[in-house]
Amino acid sequence: MLPLYYARGSQGYSPEWVRLAKRSIATLLPRFNTSRMLDEYVAKFYLPAAQQGLRYAEQGFAAGRAVAEWKARVRASWPKVAIRRLDAPPKRIAFGTSLRIEVALDLDGLAPADVVVELLLARDGSGARAGHVRLELAPDGTRTERGEHRFALDLEPELCGRLDYRIRAYPCHELLTHPFELGLMIWV
């Protein structure tokens, strides 16, 4: 593309580059207009926000109060929430082999149901968001000698080759508008 831009003719510009730019404008223009933008904003933002507002307002705003109280509890406890790995991860596993992953969470008074612990699995070097698989670790109902809650996952990757994974925990409540609404997360 760069050589095309600099292939200037006698008029001082590249006629081929101008032709390419005009074609791009003509083919993209129908997609970029106010009507499409408004429809997209209504579908993605305004309608979900209105539905969430109605949900919070039901029964005299009981749901709104419940989620506000939960958020206050989480924000008060979160600075002391800590996560650590309990198992010793092997350097290699054979394809088709299961691997038990265990972490301990000090929830500072929160319940295991107040958080999601998940493993993000991706091809090595593919980036944090590119093609990752999210797998949830479940509380196993036991505690460590320090009183932390145990979460575990029996992982049998469906991918082979070099894989990269990260484990994270974040607050979760069914009434949140977005899972990361509180902006709180810890990683191990």
CATH number, position 91 = 2.60.40.10
Domain annotation covers residue 5: no
pLDDT grade for 129, boundaries at 50, 70 and 90: low
CB 105 within 8 A of CB 148: yes
Residue 139 in this model has a pLDDT that exceeds 90: yes
11 domain-assigned: no
Establish if 132 belongs to a structural domain.
yes
Q: Is residue 58 part of a domain?
A: no
State percent of the chain over pLDDT 90.
Answer: 65
Spatial contact of 138 and 115, defined as CB atoms under 8 Å apart: no
Q: Which amino acid is at 134?
A: R
Rounded Cα gap, residues 166 and 29, in angstroms:
41
**Is residue 166 one of the residues assigned to a domain?**
yes
Res 146: pLDDT: 96
In a domain, residue 118? The reply is yes
| Residue 139 maps to a domain | yes
Q: How far apart (Å, rounded) are the C-alpha atoms in residues 121 and 138? A: 16
Residue type, 93: I
Q: What is the pLDDT of residues 12-58, one digit of tens each?
A: 899 999 999 999 888 887 777 788 889 999 999 999 999 999 999 99
pLDDT greater than 80 at residue 126: no
pLDDT of amino acid 31 = 73
**What is the per-residue pLDDT across 155-185, written as a single tens digit (0 to 9) for each?**
987 777 778 889 999 999 999 999 999 999 9
> Residues 14, 19, 22, 27: what is their CA dihedral angle, to the nearest 10 degrees?
-140
Q: What angle do CA 184, 143, 119 make, to 5 degrees?
A: 45
Contact in structure between 115 and 82 (CB atoms under 8 Å): no
Name the residue range of residue 115's domain.
78-187
* SS3 category, 186: strand
How many domains are contained in the chain? Answer: 1
C-alpha distances in angstroms, 35 versus 25, 28, 32, 39, 183? 17, 14, 9, 6, 32
Instruction: Round to whole Å and give the CA distance between 83 and 148.
Output: 9
Terminal C-alpha separation, the chain: 44
Residues 65-100 pLDDT 10s: 999 999 999 999 999 999 999 999 888 888 888 889
The verdict on residue 99 lying in a domain is yes
